[in-house]
Chains A and B, each alone.
Chain A
Amino acid sequence: MNTRIYSIASNTFREAVRDRVLYNLIAFAGLLSGAAILVGQISIDIEKLVVINLGLTAVSLFGVVIAIFIGIGLVSKEIEKRTLYTVLSRPVRRWEFIVGKFFGLAGTLAVNTFCMAIGVFGALLYVAHRFAGADSLIFVALYFIVLQFLIICSLALLFSSFSSPLLSAVFAFSLYVIGSFADDLRGFATLAQGVTRWIATGTAYLVPNFSALNVISSVAHQQPISGQLILHNTLYALFYTAMALSGAVLIFDRRNLK
């Protein structure tokens, strides 16, 4: 990686840690250990199911909230504090700044997810007393969650490159909700006629397809995930991230920072 991008990314990561972002891990640990103990006492036969569902959902939601709320401030905060001018006065191109910020946030989320994953496996071990071969599917679900974070980070950056933090948060969160129902949107498109069909189809392809990246229920029920799906979802997430990030670069490159 370009050393300038690496410097910006590592500073973004350090800043996130200094902002006590990783404190969310305490809440996550509390939630998961509480659920693991409670569920064992009040339910029959679904302890493992609940821990996997709850654990992975929490990993996903905590990460999405972090991605959106840190992502929207990455550019605006630098402008507000006027630190951006210091950075850009050095031999750093604007696209390098955006890409560096993206990698910094993505790294923060990857570390956060790694810690949470340890928590999920710990809770699983507590309720099931041992790991089964099918539990390795949780890694696939976690991997897909990280792919979701990459897309959300890039979208948060895209919106923050031209909008205020509040509006960026609204846009990013709305797109996350819409993207979670992307399959329904596609289903609606197949049933619609004429112009509505075209608009619905176009929208369905334009919004990020988070539902394809959500395999939490399948993993909880130990249903295998095909290698093809892993490959295609990986490529899809990378291309979508590249698209949103390039959009952010295009906008930020033209933005008047005076």
Chain B
Amino acid sequence: MNSRRRTTITATAVVVIAMIACVILLRRIDRIRPHEISDDKLYISSPKMVRRASLGFDGLAACIYWTRTVQYFGQRHHFRQRSYNELAPLLEITTALDPHLYPAYQFGATFLAPAPPNGAGQPERAIRLMEYGIQHDPDNWKLYYDLGFVYYTELKDYKHAGEVFARGSEVSSAHPFMKVLAAQMAQHAQEFATARMLWSAAYQSTNETNIRENALEHLRALQVDEDITNLENAVTRFAEANGRIPASLWEIAAAEHLQGIPVDPDGSPYELSADGEVLVANPDDFPFITKGMPPGYNPGPPKFHTKLQ
């Protein structure tokens, strides 16, 4: 074997071995410092500073920051983190760079306001973000819808929600349901039908996966809450009529002339506890339910579904 051939074989072997070793070592390094992947990293938090630093290329900088926002949320969601500390500043920087970037406002309305682990738990900043958007784009009725949504879902402030929906309904291009929502807030705000209308609209009005999954989970949770409310009423009626709580939901099904024991959106039958409470079989599958959880239940990180069933 001549010298050149020996060099070729040796160098090629080193390249291959070193490449494999690099991949193995990087995987180990990731395990040693996993937090680095999804850690909070926002070196400049002032929107004005970033705007100046973009040297006039605001649009491109906004796109970069928007992408970063989505990556930030997606990574933390993927790694089941329970806090989104940088979400608000990232969205504020993005919208300061491009005040007309509607997806950023919609994202903010959906994920800034809800309490952790479903969001950043900052409804005030979500409202400020939406008002900033409305200030710059007053003819976009969707911004009013999103703002009303925050008031309605997170703050349960039906008065302000109604006012915002009414303001939005005055925009010439506004969807007709804005008027309906404004009216609903006055009298029927706490009804399941109103909430369902809002979440269905949220689901249908976007192609953004995170927002759709979030809306879908809320729709599923609403179904569970409504079912359990109805079953609790049936249990109360049964107790009043018979002087005792039912032994099982079969007795309720017989008394109410139902086809069988009602099932949740996943097809699992609801359960009845010894003290007459109606429970959902797998509460972890319904991260936003407000009823049907066993006593002392500690919810895990949300598991989102991707398709409307």
Contact = CB atoms under 8 A, between A and B. Distances in A.
B12 A250 contact: yes
B7 A184 contact: no
A112 interface: no
A253 B15 CA distance: 15
Interface string B17-30: 11101110110111
A235 B25 contact: yes
B307 to A, nearest CB: 15
Contacts of B36: 183, 211-212
Contact of B29 (A95, A236, A243, A249): A236
Contacts of B23: 205
B32 A187 contact: no
A258 B94 CA distance: 55
Contact of A183 (B8, B11, B37): B37
A212 B18 contact: no
Interface stretch (A14-22, A23-31, A117-125, A224-232): A224-232
A119 B10 CA distance: 42
B14 interface: yes
Most buried by B among A183, A205, A211: A183
Interface in A181-200: 183-184, 186-188, 190-191
Please report whether the interface of chain B is mostly helix, strand, loop or mixed according to DSSP.
helix
B22 A243 contact: yes
Contacts of A246: 10-12, 14-15, 18
Contacts of B30: 186
Contacts of B257: none
Contact of A236 (B14, B22, B78): B22
B14 to A, nearest CB: 4
Most buried by B among A94, A205, A236: A236
B38 A242 contact: no
Lowest 3 CB-CB distances: which A-B pairs, in order?
A243-B18, A246-B14, A246-B11
Interface of B: 3-4, 7-8, 10-12, 14-15, 17-19, 21-23, 25-26, 28-30, 32-33, 36-38, 71, 74-75, 78
29 contacts: A93-B3, A95-B11, A186-B30, A187-B38, A211-B36, A226-B32, A228-B32, A229-B29, A229-B33, A232-B28, A235-B21, A235-B25, A236-B21, A236-B25, A236-B26, A239-B17, A239-B25, A240-B18, A240-B22, A243-B15, A243-B19, A246-B11, A246-B14, A246-B18, A247-B11, A249-B11, A250-B8, A250-B15, A253-B11
